[in-house]
Amino acid sequence: MDLKLTGKRALVTGSSAGTGAYIAKTLAREGAYVIVHGRNQDRTRAIADEIYSEGGKVAVVIGDLSTIQGAEQIAQDARAAFGGVDVLINNAGLIGYYETWDDVNAENWAEMYDGVVLVIVRLVNALQSHMETLSWGRIINIASAQSLQPFAMMPDYAAAKCAVLNLTKSLSKRFDCTGITVNIVSPGIIVTDRIKQRMTEAAAKEGRSTQWEEIEQYVLTNELDNPTGRLARPEDVANLVTFLSSPLADYINGTNIRVDGGSILSI
């Protein structure tokens, strides 16, 4: 299937590692001109080099989304890379740790909201006028299954991701009849290197096996059961994001699509 992404210019925030890197690579394989973003220059350029080695069109933008000035500079550099931005994937953001409600103080809540919600707001504000002049565009925000079905742990993270659902619906109405669609992808637990490391450390601390297959089975049995029988892989998310970025997804707008293996029980 031709996704008609050839020549579409896509900025993927937080794409120097993990799921963001998979998204950037998958978009490039479909012919998109990809702008890889990160804060660490070496890691970000390494992903760009991988894309380039496969024949992809790629540019690098380094910057911090935690300030308005940083977001505006990222937007400016991204527009300059290929003459514009058609697709914005808001993947960058803080990740939750395994804290309980009692472990998280007011400052942690504020930091999480800033690092999950305001990083999106700043960049959308910096790019929205430009994207409207193109009369076509995609904004895809990466949320979490926890936004709908939170754990007892990481309450600040789950609440911030829930706010992303709300702002995405609002944005889809803000861009009414402009040709720009705004959607959400809400994954379950994604098996990235960072997540594997954290789960392995938690298993060791609790005296459980540190073999990954046993860790994954423990999580499925005790924390996140689903009828698919495994946790999410980065490519599961990347494939959906790539489709939503394409002209073939023109009539999908203001929608939250879960990539959770069926773990959320609600219809």
Q: Which of 33, 98, 113, 157 is catalytic?
A: 157
3-state secondary structure of 86: coil
| Structural tokens at position 136 | 């076509």
Question: Which residues share a beta bridge with 177?
Answer: none
Residue 157 known to be catalytic: yes
Distance CA 226, CA 208 (A): 22
* 13 vs 16: CA distance, rounded Å: 8
CA 62 from centroid of its chain's CA atoms: 17
| 115-142 as b/e: b if 16+ CB within 10 A | bbbbbbbbbbebbbeebeeeeebbbbbb
Contact 38, 58 (CB under 8 A): no
Write out the DSSP string of 191-256: --HHHHHHHHHHHHHTT----HHHHHHHHHHHT---TT-S-B-HHHHHHHHHHHTSGGGTT--S-E
* Structure tokens given for 92: 């960058």
DSSP label at 190? Answer: B
- State the sign of the Cα–Cα–Cα–Cα dihedral 73, 68, 192, 237: negative
Q: What are phi and psi of 35, to 5 degrees?
A: -110, 110
Active site residues: 157
